Structure 1
């Protein structure tokens, strides 16, 4: 056996997180590790990757006892981890990120042989069948290309055990298929053992050889993938049957565009010389933006809140927002929940309370410049309860939460501002089926209370289950809105495939 973890236990100040967990991976195997947010998956993998030295139990690599006290020690033994929130340097090039920490030596101390670095990084990517723009800064790449950069960097370090935490959470179907092909090649040709963490149960069944289910810091069971259906896995994850296990959001009551004056109006809003987008949305309406990576959905959303330069007019309740910026947009009632919660969404070192209140301070939690502390505390406690954030502790640093709970904090922060318009970019990426169902209910509730919602998602079932109308985008151009009643999954997938022809890695166009 390539990897054996025996009776692993780990505790934090709040109490035990892992309770005697056994886990193993064979050479060339893809072993899926699944469980709700907070089940202990990430803690187990961080223990393997050397992030936690204060654990009990044994870790064996090819039968030899190994004790990792730092990530560097784990990496030296061939254990690499790709986190759900990327660990890339935004202002450095793709080539430099791939070579980070093992740059080639120049002829003189302090000199970097940039050409040799670039060529070596390109060769390492090509060996995995991956084509990336080596000279482009990471911040200018789409999420799919950033994911592939992380994979190349990990695999270029003689990795034998690769941990992949939610690698497809932000990838469109084409990118997912490409990633799975890369993973199978790594196992078949290199004998790499892959630990695959995902909340997409259908994907787990497609890619994995074995599956381990965790719940509350313990292993529920481990079996070959052939023993499970998606429904089997869903019931084992939940542990009881009083939760809706269908991963598709339930449709709300049939409802056409609401009457009354428009809340959000776009009049030929354009970015980077692309065609202008014109839309009109009513109070309580949910508009889905569908398209492949590179279609321009996120770029349009960032233009709407003033995060990128754009032309055209945007009006909230009939009033144009001039000289748009995120601050001016928020003041006018337009907020955005960004796709990348780590870089542009949350202050990870700050508390849950501090993150939640930031957009509500000016409008709701202060009077004449004085913060109302009691109202602040009550609002945060109400949101923690409504969004079922675990652990329910206001002072908890957001960086210590699971990915799903961090996403809940981000959505709660948007709701706290009582916006007229919410833009949600991949709001349920990387969360388990229970948390996803809760987030869907909260999105529908916000719409029922009058908020207009623009929903960007790669999950077609999410788009179809939540949206009143759907706009398909390609290369920055928006098609006409289509009523949800006129769409099903096959029709929407066909529309996206017909109008969107992008690079599979999503590197040629901004999102």
Structure 2
């Protein structure tokens, strides 16, 4: 056995989180670890990664009893972890991030052989079949490319056990398939044991050799993946059978009100170097933006709220937003939930309450510049209940929440502002099946209450389940909107592939 974790226990100030967990991985095995947000998956893996010196229990790697009290000790035993929230240096290049901590030595002390570093990093990426722009700073990459950079960095070290926390949450279907091929090759050719954490149960069923289900800090069951259906896994996650599976609600049934007037309008809105986009979204309408990673969806979204420089006209409720910036856009009634909650979305050191009120202070939570504290507490408590944020404590720092709960805080903050228009970029990435269904309902509700919604998602079923119309993008070019009634999953995937091939 490559790895055995026996009777692992870990407590925080609020109480115990892991209650005697047993977990194992064989060489070359892909072992999926699943559970709702807050089930203890990430805490167990951070224990393996040496992040907690105060755990109890036994960790055995290749027959050796190991005490892992620091990340350096874990890495020395061949353990690497790719977190859901990346640990990259934004201002360094892709090549420098891949080589971080193991840079090649120069001819003289203090000198960095940049050409050798770049060549080695490119070679390490090529061994995994991954092509990345080695000279580009990380901050200029999309989330998917950042994810691939993390994978190359982890795999370029002498790794025996690789932990991947939600690695496909922000990858398009083609990138997911590529990643799975890389994972299988690592196991088959190098004997690496992979621990795969994911909320995509169909992927778990397809990629994993074994599955362990956790709930409330305990292991519920471990068995061969082939013995489960997706329904079986979903029922084990929640402990009962009356569940809502990982499916978006059918908008044809959910939507009861007719669409209102145009609420969000783009008139030749263009990011530097790309053609202008013309698009209108009505009050109560959800328009999906589909496309491959790098197609320009997120850059267009950031241009809408003024986070990147753009030309052209943008109107909210008929009024042009000039000198666009995130603050002016929010004041006009346009808010965005960004894809990268760690860097551009949330203040991790601040409380749930402080994060939720950040956008709404200028609208629903203040009057003539005076903050209404009683109203503030009422709204925050209501959002915590509605979004089922755990733990339900408004003073809790967001940085201590699980990834899924942090995502719910981000969406709740947007809803708190009662916007006229919302841009949601990968709003359910990394969220468990129950929370995902809840977020879908809240998105539909926001549209039903009159908001115009632009939804960016790599989950084709999410796009098809929620959107009234779909726009396929490639290299910054937006195709004509397609009515939901004219699409199914095969047609949408074909449209994305066809447009991509035409652009190539």
Q: TM-score range by the shorter chain?
A: over 0.9
Determine helix, strand or coil for the equivalent of 2:251: coil
Tell me how far apart the structure 1 counterparts of residues 461 and 125 of structure 2 sit (CA, whole Å): 33
Shift of 1:179: 0.6
Structure 1: stretches of 5+ with no match in the other structure: none
Q: Is the 8 A contact 1:33 1:41 kept in 2?
A: yes
Cα deviations by residue, 1:439-473 (Å, 9 ceiling, x for unpaired): 00110111111111100011111111111111111
Counterpart of 1:188? Answer: 188
Distance 1:123 1:353, change over 3 A: same
Which residue matches 1:363?
363
Cα distance change, pair 147–32 in 1 and its aligned pair in 2 (3 A): same
8 Å contact kept, 2:246–2:436: no
Matches of 2:453 and 2:21, distance apart in 1:
42
Residue pair 2:28, 2:192 contacting (<8 A) in 1 also: yes
Q: Please give the alpha-carbon distance, in whole angstroms, between the structure 2 residues aligned to 1:303 and 1:356.
A: 23
For the 8 Å contact 1:289–1:456, the answer to whether it is kept is: yes
Partner of residue 207, structure 1: 207
Unmatched tracts of structure 2, length 5 or more: none
Which residue in the other structure is 2:346 paired with?
A: 346
| Counterpart-to-counterpart distance in 2, 1:231 and 1:260 | 38
In structure 2, relative to structure 1, the CA distance for the partners of 1:437 and 1:483 (3 Å cut) is same
Deviation track 1:140-191 (CA, whole Å, cap 9, x = no partner) reads: 1222221111111111220110000000000000000111111111111111
Q: Displacement of 1:295 after TM fit?
A: 1.3
CA distance in structure 2 between the partners assigned to 1:380 and 1:257 by the alignment? 28
TM-score relative to the length of structure 2: 0.97
Are the aligned partners of 1:258 and 1:283 in contact in 2 as well (CA < 8 Å)? Answer: no
> What secondary structure is seen at the aligned counterpart in 2 of 1:422?
strand
State the distance in 2 between where 1:493 and 1:261 align.
Answer: 30
Root mean square deviation, CA, Å: 1.6
Cα gap change, 1:246/1:140 in structure 2, threshold over 3 Å: closer, same or farther? Answer: closer
* 2:302 equivalent to 1:294: no
- Report how far residue 501 of structure 1 moved: 3.5
- How many residue pairs get aligned? The number is 504
Q: Distance in 2 between matches of 1:196 and 1:327?
A: 39
Sort the Cα spacing of 1:109 and 1:12 in 2 relative to 1 into closer, same or farther, 3 A.
Answer: same
Give 3-state SS (helix, strand or coil) of 1:358's partner: helix
TM-superposed deviation, 1:107: 2.3
Q: Does 2:44 match 1:28? A: no
Paired residue secondary structure (1:485): helix
Are the equivalent residues in 2 in contact too, given 1:348–1:399 (CA < 8 A)?
yes
Match of 1:421 in 2: 421
Q: Secondary structure at the match of 2:353?
A: helix
* C-alpha contact (below 8 Å) 1:258/1:282 kept by paired residues: no
Alpha carbons of 1:73 and 1:337: their partners in 2 closer, same or farther (altered >3 Å)?
same
2:50 corresponds to 1:50: yes
Deviations 1:177-228 (A, max 9, x none): 1111111111111111000000111111111111111111111111111111
> Are the counterparts in 1 of residues 426 and 458 from structure 2 also a CA contact under 8 Å?
yes
Instruction: Give the conservation status (yes or no) of the 8 Å contact 1:255–1:468.
Output: no
CA contact (8 A) 1:53 1:69 kept: yes
What displacement does 1:417 show? 0.7
Q: Report how far residue 248 of structure 1 moved.
A: 3.8
Alignment partner, residue 459 of structure 2: 459
Aligned counterparts of 1:261 and 1:176: Cα–Cα separation in 2: 38
**CA distance 1:466–1:17, shift in 2 (3 Å):** same
* Mapped pair 1:154 → 2:180: no
Q: Which runs of 4+ in 1 moved over 4 A?
A: 254-260
Distance across 1 between alignment mates of 2:257 and 2:135: 46
Residue 226 of structure 1 pairs with residue 251 of structure 2: no
Partner-residue secondary structure (3-state), 2:174? helix
For the residue of structure 1 that corresponds to 2:349, the secondary structure is coil
Q: Tell me which residue corresponds to 2:37.
A: 37
